[in-house]
Amino acid sequence: MKFAAFARLSRAVALAAACLASAGAHAQAAPSALTLQFLQPTGQVSPTDSITVQMRVTNTDASQAFSFSEASGVAGMPASSLPAMAWHWNATTSSYEQIAFASYSGFSVGVGYSCSSTFSQPDCAQGPYAFTFGNTGVGTSFQLGAGQSYDYTYGVLNPLGGKAAAGTYTLYNAPLVLFVNGQAADGTLLTGAVVLSDTAGQTFTRTVTAVPEPASVVLMIAGLLGLAGVARRRISPAA
């Protein structure tokens, strides 16, 4: 799974995201009251169309806002849901190691994209579509009131080579991720991640409809004209 934090992705952020994915985070219960849904989950497109995926996040907690900021931390989810550990590159041993957070210093929101989506099979590099991350429009601070919703662009799918084969393509999961920055006890900078919500049980599909080749269109028009001529002859009065 690929992740973007809508800020420059550091090695630490990428690693935190990869570890989050490998731990099967998409299968875990969401730690917040946020829910996600695809806007316009089905539709038809032409082989050359770009496909924009729009999302809506809703705070289903009727009494408490979900928020985060550098000054006030995170509200609207249990403190125990924040990552206790983060992976860090140890240059001395040339390996990654887990280090405990001693404090948190900042937060940001990003999304994850699964290359198992049929838009990207056999893999993200070979298509048939290339995925470009959108922008949640959320900076380093955010608040979503009780019962409120917020719409954002999850990403854009562009057909590789400018044209996709006819068929139906499916995106299965589009998680919303909270990236957490902080420090270890010795001052080492750390970045961890936690899935706020995902789209489990939902799908986003687009059916690509074939466009007739010019020669086929000419043949079809000629055939229709021929049929029209036959019909006229059949209804002409006898001489």
Per-residue pLDDT reduced to its tens digit, 102-160: 999 999 888 989 888 999 988 888 889 999 999 888 878 899 999 999 999 999 999 99
pTM for the full model?
Answer: 0.77
The pLDDT, as a whole number, for residue 26 is 40
User: Could you tell me which residues are beta bridge partners of residue 207?
Assistant: 44, 168
The pLDDT, as a whole number, for residue 180 is 93
The pLDDT, as a whole number, for residue 218 is 53
Label residue 52 by pLDDT band (50, 70, 90): very high
Average pLDDT on 215-235 reads 56
State the chain's mean pLDDT as an integer: 83
HSE (CB half, 13 Å, CA atoms) of 151?
Answer: 6
User: Could you tell me which residues are beta bridge partners of residue 85?
Assistant: 100
